[in-house]
Amino acid sequence: MQFEPVIGLEVHVQLLTESKIFCGCSARFGAPPNSNVCPVCLGLPGALPVLNRRAVEFAVLAAQALNCQVRETSIFARKNYFYPDLPKGYQISQFDKPVAEHGFVDIPSGEGTRRIGITRLHMEEDAGKSLHDGFPNSATSTAIDLNRSGVPLIEIVSEPDMRSPEEAYDFLTRLKEIILYTGVSDCNMEEGSLRCDANISVRRRGAEKFGTKAEVKNLNSFRYLQRALEYEIERQISVLESGGKIAQETRLWNVSEGRTESMRSKEFAHDYRYFPEPDLLPLRVSAAWQGEIAAAMPELPDARRKRFVRDFSITPYDAEVLTTTRVLADYFEGVVGAGAPPKPAANWIQVELLRQLKDAGKEIAESPVPPRELAALVAKVESGEINAATGKKVFARMFETGKPAAEIIAAEGFSQVSDTGEIERWCREVIEKNPDNLAKYRAGNEGVFKFFVGQVMRASRGQANPQTVNDTLKRLLS
Ligand code: ADP
Ligand code: ZN
Ligand code: MG
């Protein structure tokens, strides 16, 4: 390819505070329209904002997790614009003195990692929501829901450091993972707790200067982000190749048509007339307070992955899968903590548990099998009390019923049969029923031995102790 893409992302993350950023209204998603509102978030004249301390702590925790430098003094600023869902006529945000700057996120790259810079992280309030359909008269009107007005957000702006849609995808994946670990947001894209705008330009390979960028909005899934970037790269390259120029503009991802389309030109850059918010004092986050917040930092995904590989001797791949969420990683540690050897524990979780959860459309937190019970099952399989195939059946029943392994094994007669008398009876039966194969075996065809083992295991519904079956068959066949 003759052209190289240059990508920078702007990510909005909703903070999981109980109340809004400048008033006491509930910040919860899903309440009846316009029920979580007060004079402050409705923008009524004379109402005064009061900063939510918890929102600051969450923003600082996120900033620290993203390796940012936190400012001791940051300034809230008014960003002025008109929009029907912005009743004050301005949004309180931060401008030239954001709460944090100069961070980074490492993304996987070949064997190692690549570092993507974070320019800034600032705090701001969300606007309300304009609803264009799904309510009475929606054919002719737009409805406004101001529940979201004043909900705390952080905006994270990356450096233009990404060079492919995959890198943008990986960056957003890692970013989301880190934020989820900190617990400051649920990063639910469907509910708008995580929103991403992508800035993209292309330049001739080897060129130093960046090309003119377009900003693509409305990317409310990882897949849309990747597809929109792929589309934009092709579009910009074909414009340039046919001798045209890229317009600096904001574009929208059209989901149903699978393409980006022009929304507004940026030729006359927005003038938001930022100025320091006169109703709020400068935000002071002293070194001591920063230290207190940092002390509450949980172990982050990268560190946890490394520790899993080091302490549990599992593969980097397994560690990667098991740390995708904090809950999953906690679950794994719970199973190991309850006595299961790490490798089998990792396998059972990745193969059986994750599959059952996926089929049932459940999250790990809703797993009907608690870590302690999975550990008990793994112990039974490892000790040979039941074999692996039976273990899977038992696990399926545990998942279905939420009952402990021991109870299911006892109630459903799943325990491994090591009774030599019973195993011998099965072996004799199988040999009697298969004279042809017996002849083959005796003529020196050792390959049919496996056939006999398989038949006996089947006769025992998978419960016979495989070692005893082997020994017994060897004895009887010869
Ligand atoms: P604007 O003034 O349009 O908001 P900024 O310089 O603040 O632009 O950058 C906004 C976002 O665009 C950042 O994520 C940045 O990394 C990205 N960006 C800036 N220039 C380019 C470019 N030429 N190509 C792609 N992305 C860019
Ligand atoms: Zn309010
Ligand atoms: Mg900007």
What tokens were used for 334? 């719970």
**Ligand located closest to 39 CA:** 2
Atom of ligand 1 nearest to the CA of 199: 26
Q: What residues flank ligand 1, with Cβ below 6 Å?
A: 6-10, 157-160, 199-201, 210, 213
- Tell me which residue of 455, 461, 458 sits closest to 473, measured CA to CA: 455
Region 43-61: mean pLDDT is: 97
pLDDT in tens, 149-174: 999 999 999 999 999 999 999 999 99
Q: Is the pLDDT of residue 325 over 80?
A: yes
- Looking at residue 382, its pLDDT comes to 87
Compute the distance from residue 119 Cα to the ligand 2 centre, in Å: 31
Region 463-467: mean pLDDT is: 81
Region 64-68: mean pLDDT is: 98
Rounded-to-integer distance, Cα 8 and Cα 210, Å: 12
Q: Which one has a higher pLDDT value, 192 or 457?
A: 192
DSSP sequence for 62-90? HHHHTTPEEPSEE-EEEEE---TT-TTSE
- Looking at residue 1, its pLDDT comes to 67
Atom of ligand 1 nearest to the CA of 157: 14
User: How many Å from the N-terminal Cα to the C-terminal Cα in the chain?
Assistant: 68
Atom of ligand 1 nearest to the CA of 215: 12
Compute the distance from residue 27 Cα to the ligand 2 centre, in Å: 9
- Looking at residue 242, its pLDDT comes to 92
Atom of ligand 1 nearest to the CA of 248: 3
Region 436-465: mean pLDDT is: 86
Q: Is the pLDDT of residue 227 over 80?
A: yes
Q: Is the pLDDT of residue 266 over 80?
A: no
Q: Is the pLDDT of residue 267 over 60?
A: no
| Global confidence as pTM | 0.83
- Could you tell me the pLDDT band of residue 350, with boundaries at 50, 70 and 90? very high
Compute the distance from residue 10 Cα to the ligand 3 centre, in Å: 9
Q: Which domains does the chain have, with CATH numbers?
A: 3-292 (no CATH), 301-412 (no CATH), 420-477 (1.10.10.410)
Region 107-129: mean pLDDT is: 93
- Could you tell me the pLDDT band of residue 422, with boundaries at 50, 70 and 90? confident
- Looking at residue 138, its pLDDT comes to 79
